[in-house]
Chain A
């Protein structure tokens, strides 16, 4: 077990190292001079040359890469070009905000989609199955920006029940979280529900379930004790992937509702070519992706005894 964990963590570190080099090189060769980005389009050639010298940009590429990596490892993420404050001052608050949004979405979406998926998969082809599948597909097909507009039209402008933006200006406000969570749940629940349904339907056709039913166990016991655990193996991986998506892929929702999250920060940084923020965001996103995948791998071995620590 310890060897397995050590190996997974070593793979994780190696993946991050390779990706850090890719992120660094991509941004290093992005169009335009970093000095112009920092000093603005009206700066003189002389000012730019001095800035590049002072900030070590005349050093060889690999020296700068290790400087940057060293800074990153020790917690020095550089200074934002746009906001003129250390990246650390912005990044972690934004990540925490996205974490709150992701957690709220999870708390609603996972029980809902698992319940609907199990209900649909219990009796494949039934009216119940088809209704849930159709509703899930319809909602998943609607892009987030469209459902954001639709829900705003209903709940903000039509009924006047909810606020139009979710900036949390005066601290955490649950009401401001409702619309972004609704949009994310609508967009994602169908996907997880369908994965659960497919897995459940497959389990329901296995011999041991048929045996359990034939030996007279109550249907509820068959489902809860025998079918459910096996049916959750496939959705578990999907759910772990959703964590990754919720932390770095909810740009549209954050932008639309002016939610001060990680995705919106990454978008703004990209548009402003705020290179240190982009680098930090990219590395955080890589870390989240790699660590959720590692967690999924570990969790999978527990859920499925047929997979060994090898």
Chain B
């Protein structure tokens, strides 16, 4: 069996390999799990090749780029003060060109080494050892090493930083009593890093000590707020845009927020050939048509995103290429189960019973994605269990409404933001689907920023959720009682027990079976209508080579360039 250098192979790797050979787990899940457990991507693909006979290397990209050229990309240019507090992918894309991550999860869902050249997990998945790459230098001349990584973990897990990473690495964090009381007299709790959760083993080795098992640690290290900053980042002012010190392939040249961000190739980069001489991000505002106009008229070489309504145009322009990525990006029309009328499960189930998910997908998103199933686990998630397809049943909906005392009809109002047009389209379709059962839905469309004021407060709201590689990541974030992002106020001990059981199961086939119960409970409790899983699109000029859209729309341009 191929090994990741001299590292010890995790005992689950041979087991899942046997499951793969027997067809109990698919190729995608084998590759993902094996690489997360420390097997190199090359070795994992080779193991797949031994079973399927396919080439052991991932498919070669369309063309090898030539050296040189400046790529211009249309994307919002946002503030980029502290990478740990990034809340937009665009910010991370700017920063991604100058600072780097410990791992990188590719468009094939396989996690590969980056600043960490390899890693090992203990048998119980509670201890992770990261072996850092040697010979990497910051662009101020300092050596990159364990001190940098330890400092990053310490600041991520310090509540004063305000980083969402504190939720991502919850196994390294504990709740402590602040000694203060809230207005109801309850103790105010705060989180802090568990002492010894991160330790420097030597100059190029860092160990993470978790209090609970976690398989997704290497994937989490490529989540967009986990880019590694210099160990003296805070001493240097804590502002990346003003002190752009990084290990990345490019260096910052010009930064004008709201206008443009320019980087140029950095000499002596550790990661081998970088094709592009530079990259210029140009801000064309929020109007998708402006982005496309710039691309068509040759003012830029690529755009960050193409709206679903524009894909026909892109396909008709001869010098453009449309790129599509299947994702777990979605939106949920969630109902707060402690607010009237949704505190009656029959009302929620009646709403759900009216929905034709396939039609929602076809009309609101032109069928480009996957059907939602009202449990927030996507078919592309490795642990997804296929439940029976949901179908609209108006007799059932009417009976449920009558039983709940709404036989004469029910008026509902849903809040949603205007930023993504498909949200309003999906809710328009839902309004039509609810009408035959006597439910009158009013759409309260508000500016995006206004919706984020009420997203966790409104009884009925439509909230977008970004792609995450695992379904349980979202379930842990949004559907456990008392967690900050539990916008539906969902609380069901049976669900949480089933989720704990599934999360603690490493065996892929076994975990899938356990997810049946998790998904079924969430679907039956009817706290959301989830219209669809959406594909995302971007477009480039035909001259661009080596680019593929990442499900999270990350821009890794190390091997992107112009065709020869």
A residues neighboring B (CB under 8 Å): 31-33, 36-37, 39-43, 46-47, 82-85, 90, 152, 156-157, 160, 162-165, 167, 169, 255-258, 260, 264, 268, 270-273
Contacts and interface: CB of A to CB of B under 8 A. Distances in A.
B284 interface: yes
A156 B296 contact: yes
Nearest to A264: B285
Nearest to B85: A40
A163 B297 contact: yes
Nearest to B82: A84
Interface string B293-320: 1111111000000000000000000000
B450 interface: yes
Interface string B67-107: 00000100000110100000100000000000000000000
Interface in B469-520: 484-485
B450 to A, nearest CB: 7
Interface in B35-88: 72, 78-79, 81, 87
Contacts of A164: 290, 292-297, 299
Instruction: Please list the 5 inter-chain residue pairs (A to B) with the smallest Cβ-Cβ separation, ordered nearest first.
Output: A164-B293, A164-B297, A258-B284, A84-B79, A32-B453
18 contacts: A33-B453, A39-B162, A40-B87, A42-B164, A42-B484, A82-B78, A83-B78, A90-B257, A157-B297, A163-B299, A164-B299, A167-B282, A169-B72, A257-B290, A258-B283, A258-B284, A260-B258, A268-B258
Given A167-B299, A258-B283, 6 more contacts: A84-B81, A163-B299, A165-B290, A165-B293, A169-B260, A256-B287
B280 interface: yes
Contact of A258 (B257, B285, B452, B484): B285
Given A31-B450, A32-B453, A169-B282, A47 B162 contact: yes
A256 B289 contact: yes
B449 A273 contact: yes
Interface in B440-454: 447-450, 452-453
Contacts of B224: none
Given A169-B259, A273-B449, A258 B81 contact: no
B257 A83 contact: yes
Interface string B253-296: 00001111000000000000000000010111111011011111
B310 to A, nearest CB: 13
Nearest to A41: B452
B365 interface: no
Contacts of B293: 152, 156, 164-165
A256 B285 CA distance: 9
Interface size class of B (residues with CB under 8 A): 35 or more
Contacts of B78: 82-83
B188 interface: yes
Nearest to A94: B258
Given A165-B299, A169-B259, A256-B289, A37 B294 contact: no
Interface of B: 72, 78-79, 81, 87, 162, 164, 188, 257-260, 280, 282-287, 289-290, 292-299, 447-450, 452-453, 455-456, 484-485
Given A255-B285, A256-B290, A162 B449 contact: no
A258 B294 contact: yes
A46 to B, nearest CB: 7
A111 to B, nearest CB: 29
Contacts of A37: 449, 453
Contact of B287 (A41, A47, A255): A255
B418 to A, nearest CB: 9
B449 A271 contact: yes
A162 B296 CA distance: 11
B297 A156 contact: yes
A162 B297 contact: yes
A154 B81 CA distance: 42
B377 to A, nearest CB: 23
B449 A167 contact: no
A31 B283 contact: no
Contact of A165 (B280, B284, B450, B456): B284
Contacts of B297: 156-157, 160, 162-165
A50 to B, nearest CB: 11
The binding surface of chain B is classed by DSSP as loop
Nearest to B281: A169
A271 B292 CA distance: 22
Contacts of B260: 167, 169
B280 A169 contact: yes
Contacts of A165: 284, 290, 293-294, 297, 299
Nearest to A273: B449
A271 to B, nearest CB: 5
A41 B455 contact: yes
A157 B164 CA distance: 44
B428 to A, nearest CB: 21
Contacts of A163: 294, 297-299
Contacts of B455: 41
B287 to A, nearest CB: 6
B299 A268 contact: no
A39 B87 CA distance: 11
B484 A268 contact: no
Contacts of A264: 285
Given A163-B297, A164-B297, A169-B259, A41 B162 contact: no
A84 B296 CA distance: 32
Contacts of A160: 297
A169 B188 CA distance: 49
Contacts of A82: 78-79
B299 A273 contact: no
A130 B260 CA distance: 48
Contact of A32 (B164, B289, B290, B450): B450
Contacts of B285: 255, 258, 264, 268
A169 B261 CA distance: 10
Nearest to B295: A164
Nearest to A168: B259
A37 B298 CA distance: 37
A37 B447 CA distance: 13
B287 A258 contact: yes
A276 to B, nearest CB: 14
B278 to A, nearest CB: 13
A167 B447 CA distance: 24
A47 B161 CA distance: 11
Contacts of A169: 72, 259-260, 280, 282, 299
Nearest to B190: A46
Contacts of B72: 169
A284 to B, nearest CB: 17
Contacts of B294: 163-165, 167, 258
Contacts of B87: 40, 42
A277 to B, nearest CB: 10
B296 A157 contact: yes
A41 B282 CA distance: 27
B286 A268 contact: yes
A247 B98 CA distance: 38
B284 A272 contact: no
Nearest to A165: B294
Q: Could you say which of B72, B294, B447 has the most chain A C-beta atoms within 10 Å of its C-beta?
A: B294
Nearest to A149: B289
B284 A167 contact: yes
Nearest to B419: A271
Nearest to A265: B258
Given A160-B297, A164-B293, A164-B294, A260 B449 contact: no
A267 to B, nearest CB: 9
Contacts of B258: 83, 90, 260, 268
Contacts of B282: 167, 169
Contact of A273 (B79, B298, B450, B456): B450
A63 to B, nearest CB: 26
